[in-house]
Chains A and B, each alone.
Chain A
Amino acid sequence: MNATVDPRRKEKVNRYKAPQAQGQNGSGTGNEDLTPDYMNILGMIFSMCGLMMKLKWCAWFALYCSCISFASSRVSDDAKQVLSSFMLSVSAVVMSYLQNPAPMTPPWVSSS
């Protein structure tokens, strides 16, 4: 069918515009995947409570959250956010061990 007539038209070439430029409805198919943002916020909250309430398992969980948000982060959102959440969770882990180098007790132990 298209072997006979060549469908290509040189003059109709449009350069690619990032979805935002093509208007909101341009990204109709790509409904946003929100996991990196959720994990980022979760990581921040857990590292805060790890730091303030000196709970080691919170700090470790925050470290995992920032890893997950790094893994599923998009190229379009800036790396600063992921970097800051990493720094925060690593500092939470280090601080909680500097203050009290006792081994970590899992949450179900300390709460009983």
Chain B
Amino acid sequence: ATYNFAVVAAASSFEDNDFAEFEDFDSDDDFVEVPVTVGGGAPAASKEVPVKEKEPVVKAAQIQDDEEDGIVEDEDEFFKDDEEFEGFDAGEIKEETGKKPAEPKLTVAKIPMHFRTHWDSYWMEMLMLAGLMVYFTNFFAGKAKNAKLAQLWLTTHKGLLDDNFVLVGDDGKVENENPGLMKESESLYTLWCSGRTCCEGMLVELKMIKRQDLVSLIAGLMRPQQDQVHIKVDLTRGVMDPFVFCVGTKKTITKAFKEYADLSKYCTLVSKPETRYNVPAGFSVLSEIPEATSAILENRIITALSRYQQYIDYIHISDQYSGPVQVEDANNLKQPETKPVLMAGFNLPKNGDMEAVKPLLILIFYLMERLKGYRLSKEGQQKAEKNRSRVEEEFLKSTHAARAEAAAQRREDKRKAEKERIMAEDDPEKQRRWEAKEQKRQAKKKAPKMKRLAVKSL
């Protein structure tokens, strides 16, 4: 507790100068000393005080001073007088003298600040609310735009659809209240038409840019998106000859080639379609039977492809269509169900002028008539047959293990059931006969293997 001595010395040197011998002691140190002991107690720790080397006589002076501490008031003014302490960190002394050791350390309880005190510090929340407002205004605007575009497509094509289908627009309800576009989501509208020769029905899917969702709009800035219409015609069985064919832009074709089961199993990618089938550049072709492909890609279709190249995404004709590639899981024993389809994907023009894509629907109807009238040659038929049986075998081989297991399982269950039935009947005679039969069967299963072996060794 002696380190605070120097400051007291500074004070007492004014009243009784008996500590003169300390005057010449590096006096500026005196002023560097900080704490003054007021009323005893634990003096505040002070870092820069070089006090340790002082003699014990000093301690006596310090205790004698303690009684005079009563006159602390004027000393405070004295310390507040800045000139006295040149270069002395006044702030520190004020703070030091303020911390009376006697008083308990005040801990301010962390009470939450009041809401209504100052609104401007909630700028982040304002930002968030503004973001929500922008999002919802864009939602309603995008929703309306998409609805308008879908309706425009329908009104442009309504006449043509009514010429070709008895039923245009069906909402799946029994009495079909509002025939027209069905809204699957804010950016997906579907239309079902039925009642035409050589097809069971046509599903038109208007898949548009998600204008109602700001995030996908922003994502759309990076990756170009287009409004698309996907047409899927379920052909009646037996209308078209068995072949699989697909033409489209390179990107779509490479994706479809991996994605669709029938394309990946039956088709091969045609190396130079421009020379072989003179399709316009930028298109690629997947074909199973070259004869059928050239029959489909006759000059009328080629002119349509070149004139509407910017709108045509893909045209997919197949009699073995079974959807995306099924993931190979062991327990699906039966082959996926296939059906003949004519599918097409077209891009809608950016400026919303639907008249430009109307001929594409006429193209679809023309293709349907072509398929109805087109017959494969003998070799074509055989080739198709061969392909189908090859795929059948592949499927059987891949699921052979699973099917054998299932058959064994079924036999096992049958025997167990029979055993329970016999046990349930309490007629001993029948049980004995059944057990004898069972033993004989087990013995027969083991015995023959050895015998055949013996014959070979002779």
The answer to whether B337 and A100 touch across the interface, beta carbons within 8 angstroms, is no
The answer to whether A18 and B132 touch across the interface, beta carbons within 8 angstroms, is no
Chain A: residues with CB nearer than 8 A to chain B?
1-2, 7-10, 12-18, 23-31, 33, 35, 60, 63-64, 67-68, 71-76, 99-106
Chain A residues positioned under 8 Å from B115 (CB to CB): 101
B275 within 8 Å of A (CB atoms): no
Can you name the residue of chain B whose Cβ is closest to the Cβ of A57?
B124
Residue among A35, A102, A103 with the highest chain B CB neighbour number at 10 A:
A103
**For the complex, what is the distance from the CA of A68 to the CA of B218, rounded to whole Å?**
13
A-B contact sample (20 more), CB < 8 A, given A14-B195, A28-B324:
A7-B164, A7-B196, A8-B195, A9-B195, A9-B196, A10-B195, A12-B200, A14-B200, A16-B170, A16-B203, A30-B205, A35-B216, A64-B135, A67-B135, A71-B213, A101-B112, A102-B112, A103-B121, A103-B124, A103-B125
Decide yes or no: A68 and B164 within 8 Å by CB, A1-B366, A101-B112, A102-B113 being known contacts: no
Chain A residues positioned under 8 Å from B212 (CB to CB): 71-72
Q: Size class of B's contact patch?
A: 35 or more
**For the complex, what is the distance from the CA of A63 to the CA of B135, rounded to whole Å?**
12
The answer to whether A100 and B197 touch across the interface, beta carbons within 8 angstroms, is no
**For the complex, what is the distance from the CA of A19 to the CA of B365, rounded to whole Å?**
23
A-B residue pairs, 4 tightest by C-beta: A25-B323, A16-B192, A13-B195, A28-B323
B35 within 8 Å of A (CB atoms): no
The answer to whether A25 and B194 touch across the interface, beta carbons within 8 angstroms, is no
- Closest Cβ of chain A to B230, distance in Å, is 5
**0/1 string, B166-201, CB within 8 A of A gives 1:** 110011100010000001111110001011110011
Chain B residues positioned under 8 Å from A72 (CB to CB): 185-187, 210, 212-213, 216
- Closest Cβ of chain A to B127, distance in Å, is 9
Chain B residues positioned under 8 Å from A10 (CB to CB): 166, 195
- Closest Cβ of chain B to A28, distance in Å, is 4
Decide yes or no: A2 and B195 within 8 Å by CB, A72-B213, A103-B121, A103-B122 being known contacts: no
8 inter-chain pairs at a CB distance below 8 angstroms, sorted by A residue, are: A9-B197, A10-B195, A16-B172, A25-B324, A71-B186, A71-B210, A72-B216, A99-B112
**For the complex, what is the distance from the CA of A86 to the CA of B122, rounded to whole Å?**
23
Chain A residues positioned under 8 Å from B188 (CB to CB): 30, 33, 74
**For the complex, what is the distance from the CA of A15 to the CA of B193, rounded to whole Å?**
9
